[in-house]
Structure 1
Amino acid sequence: MVEVLAALSASAAAGIRIALPLLLIGLLQNDLWAKVPLLSKISPQIVVGILVSWSLFEIFASKDLLGQRILNLVQLIFSPIVGTIMSMAIAEATNLEGWLIIVIGVVGGLLALVLQLVQVGWFFRWRGLPVWMLLSQNILCICLVIFAFDAPQQGGLIALLLLWLAIRSYQDWYRWYGATDKSKVKS
C-alpha cells in the first residue's frame, strides 16, 4: 500500500508541473533516470538539458497570461504521459510485479490528467492564475516528489486530498455554470 501512495504522490506532482518533477526524480536517485521508463533510453546529459530548460520555461512563462495559456495546453497534453512515467518509475523502484506497475501507471496518469484539468478550469474561471498560486504550485510539486521517496504515506495522502479538492472544484463549477446559464435564459 505504501508503494501505491508513493506513486500517487509522484503522479500528483506531474499533474501540477511536467519537467520539474522529472528533474527532481533524476536528481534524487543515484542512477539518474536508469529506472524511469522512456528517459532511461536517452543520454542523461540530453535529458538534464531538456528538463532544466523546460523547468525554467515553466517558471518564467507562468508569470504572463499568454505563457500560462501555452503552458496549460502543453501540460494538458503531456501531464498524463508524465504522470504515467513517474508513477511507473516509483513502482519499479519499489520492486512491484509487472502487471501491477502497469495498473499503477494508468491510475497515476489519470490522476495527473484530473489535476491538470482542474488547473485549466481555475485558469479560465479566474482569467489567469495569480502569482501566489503559481509559487505554491511549485513548492507543492517539489514537496510531493520528495515525499514520494522519503514519506510516501504523507505524499499519498496529500495526493488524495488534491483529488478530493478537484472533485469539490468540479461541483462548484457545475453549480456556478448552472447559475450563469439560468440567468442567461431569464434575460
Structure 2
Amino acid sequence: MIELLAALSASAAVGVGRIALPLLLIGLLQGDNLWSRVPILSHIHPQVVVGILTSWSLFELFASKKLLGQRILQIIHLLLSPLVGAIVGAFVAQTANLDGWMIVLVGTIGGLLALVLQLVQTGWFFRLRGLPLWLVFIQDGLCVVLVLLAFDAPRQGGLIAMILLWLAIRSSGEWYRWYRKQRHSARYHPD
C-alpha cells in the first residue's frame, strides 16, 4: 500500500504541470545510479538524459510564466503526462520490488492520475484564459514537494495526491455546471 501512495505522489507531480522536473529530481535522488532503473530512460546515456531533462525543465519554468508558453506547454503536457506519469509510477513500484504485473498496474494508475490532473489543469487554463502567475509558482513548488515526499514520506505524498484527485473531480463538476449555464444563456439570449 505504501508503494502505491509513493507512486501516486510521484505521478501527481507529473500531473500538476511539470514533466521533466520530476524525472530530473528522481534521477538526481538516485545518486550514482541516476536513471539506471527508470523505464525507458535507462536505455539512454545518463549525460544525454541530464542534458535533455535540464533543458526541458528550464524551458518549462520560463515558458510557464507567459501566456503563449503556457499554451504550448498545455498541449505538450496533455500528450506526454500519461506516459511520464506511467514511467514514474512504474519506477516507484520497481524500486519497491513489486511483481511484474503490479509494476504495470501501478504504472497505469500513475499515468491515469497524471492525465486526469493535467486535464483539469487544461480546463482551468482555458476557462481562466491563462493561469495566474501565483498559481504557476505553486505548481512548481508542489511538483518538487510531491517528488520528495514520494521517497521520504509516501503516506503524506499519497494523501496530497488523493486530495488533488478529489479537487480534480470537484472541478469537473463545477466546469459541467458552468458549461451548461453558458450554453443555456447562449440558447435563450443569442446576440
Q: Deviations over 1:110-130 (max 9, x none)?
A: 000000001100100000001
2:85 match: 83
Does residue 1:18 correspond to 2:3, yes or no?
A: no
Q: Which position in structure 1 is the counterpart of 2:130?
A: 128
TM-score between the two structures when normalised by the length of structure 1: 0.99
Q: Provide the rounded CA distance (Å) in 2 between the counterparts of 1:116 and 1:180.
A: 23
Matched with 1:65 is 67
How far residue 185 of structure 1 moved from its aligned partner, in angstroms, is 1.2
The aligned counterpart of 1:119 is 121
Aligned partner letter, 1:23: L
Once residues 25 and 44 of structure 2 are traced to their aligned partners in structure 1, the CA distance between those partners, rounded to angstroms, is 17
CA distance in 1, matches of 2:152, 2:116: 25
- Deviation, 1:64, is 1.1
Paired with 2:81 and 2:128, the residues of 1 have a C-alpha distance of 21
CA distance in 1, matches of 2:158, 2:65: 29
Aligned mates of 1:35, 1:91 — CA distance in 2? 11
CA–CA distance in structure 2, aligned partners of residues 5 and 147 of structure 1 = 10
Measured after TM superposition, the shift of residue 159 of structure 1 is: 0.4
After superposition, the C-alpha distances for 1:34-69 in whole angstroms (9 at most, x for unaligned) are 110000000000000000000000010111111100
Distance 2:170 2:20 in 1: 27
Letter in 1 for 2:21: L
The Cα shift of 1:157 comes to 0.5
Structure 1 residue runs of 4 or more that deviate by more than 4 Å after TM superposition: none
Alignment root-mean-square deviation, CA: 0.5
Which amino acid in structure 2 is aligned with residue 90 of structure 1?
V
Question: How far is 1:153 from its partner?
Answer: 0.3
Q: Give the Cα separation in 2 of the matches to 1:7 and 1:67.
A: 28
- Structure 1 gap ranges (5+): none
Matched, 1:181 2:178: no
Question: 2:29 matched to which residue of 1?
Answer: 28
Counterpart in 2 of 1:6?
A: 6
Equivalenced residue count is 187
Q: Compute the displacement of 1:10 (Å).
A: 0.5
Q: Deviations over 1:90-133 (max 9, x none)?
A: 00001111100000000100000000001100100000001100
CA distance in 1, matches of 2:186, 2:14: 38
* Of 95, 98, 101, the match for 2:97: 95
* CA–CA separation in structure 1 for the residues paired with 2:6 and 2:12: 10
Instruction: Tell me what 1:169 maps to.
Output: 171
TM-score (norm 2): 0.97
Tell me how far apart the structure 2 counterparts of residues 33 and 88 of structure 1 sit (CA, whole Å): 13
Deviation at 1:137, TM superposition (A): 0.1
Percent of aligned pairs sharing the same letter: 65
